Amino acid sequence: MTVLDMFRLDGQVALVTGVGRGLGQAMAVALAEAGADIAGLYNTRYQDTQTQIETLGRQFLPIQADLQQAGPDELNKVVEQVVDQFDRLDILVNNAGIILRSPAMEYPADDWNAVLNVNLNAAFYLSQAAARVMQGQGKGKIIQIASLLSFQGGIFVPAYAAAKSGLAGLTKALANEWAPLGINVNAIAPGYIATDNTAALQADATRNAAILGRIPVGRWGQPEDLKGLTLYLASSASDYMHGSIINIDGGWLGR
């Protein structure tokens, strides 16, 4: 097998959460460009991504779930729907996420629970359900979308920092248990990427200048900047990679 063949995903199936926009959309398209069919978990939108995937000649299965509310049973059913449709599940990308800001002393309990549910609890339950299928296949790839706040604390985002730091710990914990089963669990920690999630920061001239001034490459990332690393972690090219949290941040963490 040549090195380029190692990156092919023909005949494989990926479940991507938060598939309708931003990073989830770019990662789903990357996996489809490499040959995978896509099951896309969404809350409010998926149509644009469906069009892009089907234009590539790949299949797209939309699955609706509100990850603020969904518990282990509903998320197990999500994975069952994927297997019912495609007979397999090779790749899980836990990408859906929210960030809610308040000073820590006044941080609302509802916001804390919402952020932890979407960013951490759902990722764990979906990983559990996916791993049971992957164990039967003898192979699988799980990619968690972490953050710079898996390494740093941020300001006014205690729930997000806790969730993303928890996701980094979970990545290592699951890798330790599941590497012997042929399941790779790794995480991508994106830096500042231009999406809806960061629209307020981009629009704030002072914050925008401060952010750009600290990024060595001097620009915001684009969702497409994550495509290569996503494909690497989803493909057999990364078969010896377990429990890594890889930052892709224009140099931010190196400063």
Q: Which residues contact 51 (CB under 8 A, 6 or more apart)?
A: none
Give me the least distance between CB of 64 and ligand NAP, in Å please.
Answer: 8
Identify whether 232 is a catalytic site residue: no
Which residue's CB is nearer to ligand NAP, number 66 or number 239? 66
Give me the least distance between CB of 57 and ligand NAP, in Å please.
Answer: 23
Catalytic residue from among 107, 160, 192, 232: 160
Q: Which residues contact 27 (CB under 8 A, 6 or more apart)?
A: 16, 93, 95, 223, 226, 227, 230
Question: How many residues are given for the chain?
Answer: 255
Cα atoms in the Cβ-side hemisphere of radius 13 Å centred on 214: 12
Which residue's CB is nearer to ligand NAP, number 15 or number 67? 67
Give me the least distance between CB of 157 and ligand NAP, in Å please.
Answer: 10
Q: Which helix (H) or strand (E) holds 185?
A: strand 183-190
> How far is CA 80 from each of CA 15, 175, 251, rounded to the nearest angstrom?
11, 23, 40
Residues in contact with ligand NAP by the rule CB under 6 A:
18, 20-24, 42-45, 66-68, 95-98, 118-119, 145, 147, 190, 192-193, 195-198
Which residue's CB is nearer to ligand NAP, number 43 or number 52? 43
Active-site amino acid positions: 160
